[in-house]
Amino acid sequence: MGVDNRAASADATRHLISMGHERIGMVAGPLLQSDRAQQRFEGYCHAMEEAGLMPRPLVEMTRHTQADLVSLMPALKGADALTGVICTNDLLAISLMGELQRAGFRVPDDLSVMGFDGIALGKHLYPSLCTIEQPRAEIGRSAVHTLLAMIRGERCAPSPCPTHCVGRKCRNPGIPLVHVRYVREELGMSLKRMNLKRLYQAVLATAVISTSGSVLAQSDNNAICYNCPPEWADWGTQLRLIEQETGIRVPQDNKNSGQSLAQLVAEADSPVADVVYYGVTFGIQAMEEDVVTPYQPTHWDEIPDGLKDPEGNWFAIHSGTLGFMVNVDALDGAPVPTSWEDLLKPEYRGMVGYLDPASAFVGYVGAVAVNQAMGGDLNDFTPAIDYFNKLAENDPIVPKQTSYARVLSGEIPILLDYDFNAYRARHSDGANVEFVIPEEGSVVVPYVMSLVKDGPNPENGKQVLDFVLSDQGQAVWADAYLRPVRASAISLKHAKYSSPIATMPAPKHSTTTPWRLPSEASPSGICRRCVNHGSGSQAALRGCFLPQSPLDASRAGPA
């Protein structure tokens, strides 16, 4: 019992648009921990796309009620800076307003801030908080009426309460308060007789907002993909092309690999997603958790055996090489680092960033790369643990989400990331960014997709998977400087970014680490030695070890 979070958030976004805002963002706490925040972000994306505007990537704070202006600053710079933000709760909005004002921003003159909840405190601020007010009294009355009806054994078939917007002007030229009265009563059962067990179940039911059935997920021309953020690997272009060519709309989603898997497991009894994109280790885990189902898409035979589950529970769509994405202008005169050991030096204190290995696949890949470079293997991560303990003394930055914009802004001068993001920054966005394969070596890893088990739109999901492996779909990855999994889809234009590195000496610890030699390089860019280690799963887990080329001692590719 509660509000329709998607509809309310969409309505608030439309209101901001009606006031002249076009560059609108959303700020939330940890998205995985709040289904309501997820629904509110979906509503925001829907309203933006409905108006022909591009939804911005979610700005995710580490806490639900405490803002960190550092995370939002990249979105407030440049000609495309945000003019308005919607926070997923009032306490977060109040915290953000304070942070903005302390940093010299004028609210709402420089940035309009909206909240969600309608707590009394917001009315006493200056300027007063613009918010989405929930009809708490009506929710309570509806819950009690529904509970009593269920106890009497009556069938409950409630419909959403009427909604309307009520505005009042703020003291400053901000945006009027939006009063939203979306109430969805999603309980509907008949009880033949009352007993304590059923009464207890009814009480529990009325205390929960049932949210797993997304309007978007149930639409005939939609497919839900978990973990397809527009700023990562140019998913934004891929999603637009999918809709243009197939008529299937795929909303953007900003989860990472770990969050996507956790969501699939949590929703196993009532799936919301149709397809999912993640790092290969998470694809293997998803198969083991029985939340994906086999599907062999078009061009299945062109995917190398080591890059797909034999039955089709997961399969690679592209791959990338891990290294250092370096904003040269943000190094404060320090040289571009060339090795893992360099990152431990005091001149890079507070400059090195890596995504959380416990959640993001690229973070896990970084740990694997360090571990193999230092002589470890998949059964012994001691070298990586020792390395990251040393790196911790150098004050690293450890975000949980994709941090491309934070590198370009200079907030994170050095990020453990993939080559394709660095090439995009340098060649598409014109940033002074270099990509470095560390001297000790690194890894090439695949990203994979799966069809979700019992998803709401399986046929649409299959069409999406077919498209990303088509010539058009694979060309999007090539344009974004990734290595498409289908070698035949790599044009001459992109060959210099996608071809295996030609000359590679053995790394320092070659006795325990698989690594690629020219004679072992397969057309897919994955080492045949790794593929032949055993099953496809083990081969994909191992990836390829990439020692540094002597022909280019500090940088890789055209960067």
By mean pLDDT, which of 68-77, 429-438, 523-532 is the weakest? 523-532
Q: With 80 as the cut, is the pLDDT of residue 57 above it?
A: yes
How does 329-354 read in b/e, with b if 16+ C-beta sit within 10 Å?
ebbeebeebbbbebbbeeebeebbbb
- What pLDDT is stored for residue 494 in this prediction? 53
The residue-averaged pLDDT of 327-347 equals 96
Instruction: Classify residue 539 as left (phi > 0), alpha (psi -120 to 50) or beta.
Output: alpha
Residue 88 has pLDDT above 70, yes or no: yes
Q: Which residues contact 530 (CB under 8 A, 6 or more apart)?
A: 306, 514, 539, 542, 543, 544
Model's pTM, two decimal places?
0.53
Q: Which of 370, 316, 301 is nearest to 483 (CA)?
A: 316
Sign of the Cα pseudo-torsion (117, 118, 124, 126, in order): positive
Tokens of 356: 């959380």
CB of 349 closer than 8 Å to CB of 486: no
Query: Residue 193: its pLDDT value, please?
Result: 31
Residues 6+ apart with CB under 8 A from 276: 225, 226, 227, 260, 261, 264, 286, 292, 449, 450, 452
550 pLDDT higher than 90: no
What per-residue string of b and e applies to 16-36 under the rule 16 or more CB within 10 Å gives b?
A: bbeeebeebbbbbbbbbebbb
Contacts of 238 (CB under 8 A, 6+ apart): 228, 468, 473, 476, 477
Label residue 491 by pLDDT band (50, 70, 90).
low
pLDDT of residue 336: 97
Q: Check if the beta carbon of residue 90 is closer than 8 Å to that of residue 121.
A: yes
Lowest-confidence pick of 149-158, 366-375, 394-403: 149-158
Q: What is the pLDDT of residue 435?
A: 95
- 542: pLDDT strictly greater than 50: no
**Rounded to whole angstroms, how far apart are CA atoms 29 and 196?**
38
426-477, pLDDT tens digit by residue? Answer: 998 899 999 999 999 999 889 999 999 999 999 999 999 999 999 999 999 9
Local confidence band at 514 (pLDDT 50, 70, 90 cut-offs): very low
| Average pLDDT of the residues of the chain | 77
Q: Among 35-39, 44-48, 301-305, name the one with the lowest average pLDDT.
A: 35-39
Across the range 173-198, mean pLDDT stands at 31
Integer Cα distance of 277 and 291 in angstroms: 13
Q: Which two tokens stand for residue 38?
A: 């997820």
Residue 212 binned pLDDT confidence (cut-offs 50, 70, 90): very low
Which residue has tokens 């890059």? Answer: 307
How many other β-carbons are positioned within 10 Å of the β-carbon of residue 374? 20
What pLDDT is stored for residue 531 in this prediction?
Answer: 28
* Mean pLDDT computed over 251-265: 87
Given a cut of 80, is residue 168 above it in pLDDT? no
Q: What is the pLDDT of residues 342-370, one digit of tens each?
A: 999 999 999 999 998 876 788 889 999 99
Estimate the crossing angle of helix 458-468 against helix 471-479, to 10 degrees.
Answer: 60
Pick the closest to residue 77 from 420, 379, 411 (CA basis).
411
